[in-house]
Structure 1
């Protein structure tokens, strides 16, 4: 009898903790980000402030998507979803990681300017900066395309603080599904976006955010439940109406990855989406 009472009390404590946030609340917060509307967890808006609440976007016209993942964190009091994607940002001429944070414990990023402040749920991590792309860009001596294409003589490329060997054999890119523009019958240069997609196929960890980077805007002690790298993505239907996010909400509330059991086809790979085309 005593043992049964202890088991009951433990269950009750766990159940009560789990009720500090619900599946409905999580789905509501996802819907707000999906529609670009800040949630109640954003700081109170002041004058000369603009608030942005972003959702994972695999078809962004200015961002040539390569890899993407979803990270789930939670305990009895707090929860967080972190969307991660990497690729080539063609308006800024840099390769970067974009992290979008949704949850009840987000330390929102703030960009302060003299006239206005921007508060958002997004953080960017540069993989290859504009100076490095300028260094490796084809200078025109070969008679081939120059804009956003890598010179034939380049042997290595600096990603973050390390130099990585550069493979300029376009056939290896085509083997993993990357279409290389044909500027010359027998010679093809690798585009900036092609490079990031190739690394995503052959060495994806090179492009991943570290755990410390992912947790820059959530509590350091918040426990990771699961990282999801294959899922069904649909940018036309509210998250609250999609099985993908219903399962995510269930995983967060239960804090059990067992509930991630997708049945819809995975389509989050870059090859399913048109991006970086503007």
Structure 2
């Protein structure tokens, strides 16, 4: 395995708009997580991007799946990689004021949450407040993560924050310090290859244009 091949897959996905874009105009950024997997012959990377899409009408964890060992589908994401998290969306969005919190509990994957919010607030603000206390409900569990990769490939890297490339600004994944170093870890198994010098920027506050369209 060579890191250049990993980066080529990332770049190809970016060209097809299948690489995670935290500043996507259709989705308000909420939370992220990154998982790296490898053994002597296989590598896989899953980047979770939790966001609120007013068009889709839910809070959704989109799994971006890459690797040389995918058990189904192609690198990037498919329909099955969109994981809606709110069970009672019609009860929390004001029917007369779209994108506005109606009030009441939010049911996330069967668990009832009483958000610290008042009716009339922007829904995106209410949803972002679910993090960090309830973030594990928003992010993928092991079964969801393993849907398209082998169940026995070890997870060797997990990041809750990192420096993510601004795709809209023309930066390719292969030009990103973060993903160059991650590619090295995935191909060598040497965790010392991940030594970031740039500050993390994955918090939603760093992507003010997300959800702006």
**TM-score normalised over the length of structure 2:** 0.89
Give, in angstroms, the shift of residue 120 of structure 1.
6.0
Instruction: Give the aligned partner of residue 98 of structure 1.
Output: 62
Deviation at 1:198, TM superposition (A): 1.1
Q: Does 1:262 align with 2:196?
A: yes
Note if 1:133 corresponds to 2:68: no
Instruction: Indicate the larger mover: 223-232 or 249-258.
Output: 249-258
Structure 1: state its 5+ residue gaps.
1-20, 37-52, 111-118, 141-145, 170-187
Which position in structure 1 is the counterpart of 2:210? 275
Show CA shifts across 1:122-146 (max 9, x none).
41111015xx222123356xxxxx2
The counterpart of 1:67, out of the listed 21, 31, 42, is 31
2:142 counterpart residue number: 211
CA distance in 2, matches of 1:157, 1:230: 26
Alignment-derived partner of residue 180 in structure 2: 246
Query: For the residues of structure 2 that align with 1:90 and 1:137, how far apart are their CA atoms?
Result: 10
Change (3 A) 1:64 1:223: same
- 1:31 is aligned to 11
Structure 2 unmatched ranges of 5 or more: none
Tell me the residue number matched to 1:195. Answer: 126
**Partner residue, 2:101:** 150
Q: Radius of gyration: which is bigger? A: 1
Cα distance in 1, alignment partners of residues 52 and 202 from structure 2: 17
Asked whether the equivalents of residues 91 and 102 of structure 2 are also in contact (C-alpha less than 8 Å), the reply is: no
- Indicate if the aligned counterparts of 2:33 and 2:158 stay in contact, CA closer than 8 A: yes
Identify if the C-alpha distance between structure 1 residues 120 and 23 changes in structure 2 by more than 3 Å, giving closer, same or farther: closer
Deviation at 1:256, TM superposition (A): 2.9
Correspondence 1:159 to 2:108: yes
Deviation (angstroms), 1:191: 2.2
Task: Give how far 1:109 is off.
Answer: 3.9
Q: CA RMSD in A?
A: 2.0
Q: Deviation at 1:25?
A: 0.9
1:250 is displaced (CA, Å) by: 1.1
Please give the alpha-carbon distance, in whole angstroms, between the structure 2 residues aligned to 1:269 and 1:56: 14
TM-score of the superposed pair, with normalisation by structure 1 = 0.69
1: CA distance between counterparts of 2:82 and 2:72? 13
Matches of 1:205 and 1:92, distance apart in 2: 22
Hey, what does 1:113 align to over in structure 2? none
